Chains A and B, each alone.
Chain A
Amino acid sequence: MANQETILIVENLGVKFDNNEVLKGLNFFVQKGDVLAIVGPNGAGKSVLFRALLGLIPYSGKIQWTPGLKISYAPQKFNIDKDLPLSVEEFLKFKQKKREEIINALKAVGITDEHHIEHHILKQRLGWLSGGQLQRILIAWSILDNPDVLLFDEPTAGIDVGGEETIYNLLKKLKDKRGFTILLISHDLNIVYKYANNVICINKEMICYGEPNSVLDPASLAKLYGGEAGFYKHEHEHDH
């Protein structure tokens, strides 16, 4: 199955916290340019999977990245309160990049007006940005060091559906232009159908794996979410 374009191989991956199995028996691989979505209910171990892939927590089994890949990560948990005194410029500068590179990254995420960048974005407090702007800044942050792989842990949590679609369009556009690979965690199956070419469903163990249209069938969704799946789709029918 795996050819020379494969950049990540995961075999029999398991994670335990204090003898609790949080993940077990995960097998999948990722090829260059893939958009792999990870779906599952709350507490299914999706964020844990990312942390294992980043080597931040101990695990059993095999995680094999192609050596030398640059991996960028946007976590789910950000404590950016309205009153956090941290400007956008300071936040982006933590990546220790030149100002020019920062401005280029901002342009890449659709903030193109240099006057606006200089006077309204960079000097702005991070916590005062609208949800959509903040996501753009986080994406800019993620692409600042030209990564080969982006790991996004629900980068759209807390954003209204309209804004959410734009962010994914943006991600897709960036991916097509720069050719990176995306692994993303999402609650929204519509996003998964639209943007991912592969999906893994997990609930501590692997429930399904493959192309969204073929593996996200009613049986595996019911197994994955239980009663939640029906509600979930219903909710989105109203939204559109």
Chain B
Amino acid sequence: MAEKLVSINTNMNTITNPLFLQLIVGILIGIGAGYLGSFMILKRMSLVGDVISHVALPGIAIALIFKINPFLGAFAALFLAILGIWFLEIKTELPSETLVGIFFALSLALGILITPEPELLEALFGDITKIGLTDVFITITMIAIIFFTMFRIYRGLTLSVVSKQLAQSMGINVSKISFLFLLLVAIIVSLGLKVTGIFLMGALVIVPAAAAKNVSISLANFTKLAALFGGISALGGILFASYLNLHPGPIVVLTSGIIFLITLLFKK
């Protein structure tokens, strides 16, 4: 790999080195996914990332048909999905698992039907090797939005997990915060589709955070470690995949799995 890197570096500027771009995008998404994942675990919605990522497929398909950026298509579809989840959450306060499960399986089926065949594999399993400067720009902007918003809402979000009534009594708008959080989840899942694809995005959100939870006592450690583990998973996964000439998505997820196994040894 060193030889490969050197030869690329001599030929072109580092900034446009494909591996370098992949690492920037991958690591940023890993950090964002790990961080948001920690709050998803707190909110007991570990599987939401897994489930809503399926909705992205019809969105990607429609974007491909109309030749717009697939990120936008995925995000639009996910936005509709989180509206649905949020509505169920505030309206019923009950887990609407069955309904959500059915709806999301159906959108996956629909998505598989209407996605043009050449792009289907990429949508399902991701392909970070096909990214350009636009993707880098979108990723940096979106990750900045995610962290800025989380900085504003993490207190209310955590309090509402500890006790919804308590948060409300302190003047925190619980349903607004819940909606903003779901919106961020939709953003990170849309971004992450490039890295891991639809089938594995749920793992990138949850596994690093679950690993961080094993070794953290405080919220600060938990969320920071989740972000760090997400970043390391992306870094390790993309480098290994490039070295072994394998598909990056699964290797990223497997790397996070290895981190999870290691943290089990140090479980608090």
Contact = CB atoms under 8 A, between A and B. Distances in A.
Interface string B210-235: 00010011111110000000000000
B162 A91 contact: yes
A78 B161 CA distance: 8
B127 to A, nearest CB: 34
Interface in A66-87: 71, 73-80, 83-87
B175 interface: no
Contacts of B130: none
Given A79-B161, A86-B158, A86-B162, A54 B169 contact: yes
Contacts of B217: 85, 87, 123-125
Interface residues of B, number: 21
Contacts of A83: 213
Nearest to A51: B165
B218 A73 contact: no
Contact of B165 (A75, A85, A86): A75
Interface SS majority for chain A: loop
Interface SS majority for chain B: helix
B163 A85 contact: no
A90 B213 contact: no
B163 A77 contact: yes
Contacts of B218: 85-87, 89-90, 123, 125
B216 A78 contact: no
B176 interface: no
Interface string A20-59: 0000000000000000000000000000000100101000
Nearest to B268: A125
Contact of A80 (B155, B162, B164): B162
Contacts of A76: 165
Interface in B153-198: 155, 158-159, 161-166, 168-169
B219 A75 contact: no
Contacts of B165: 51, 56, 73, 75-77
Contacts of A125: 217-218, 268
A231 interface: no
B170 to A, nearest CB: 8
Contacts of A94: 155, 158-159
Contacts of B164: 77
B222 A85 contact: yes
A54 B221 CA distance: 34
Nearest to B225: A85
A90 B223 CA distance: 13
Nearest to A123: B217
B19 interface: no
Given A75-B165, A87-B218, 19 more contacts: A54-B168, A54-B169, A74-B166, A75-B169, A77-B163, A77-B164, A78-B162, A79-B163, A83-B213, A84-B161, A84-B162, A85-B218, A85-B222, A86-B162, A90-B219, A90-B220, A94-B159, A123-B218, A124-B217
Interface of A: 51, 54, 56, 71, 73-80, 83-87, 89-91, 94, 123-125
- Pairs A-B, 6 closest by C-beta atoms: A85-B222, A75-B165, A87-B218, A73-B169, A85-B216, A125-B217
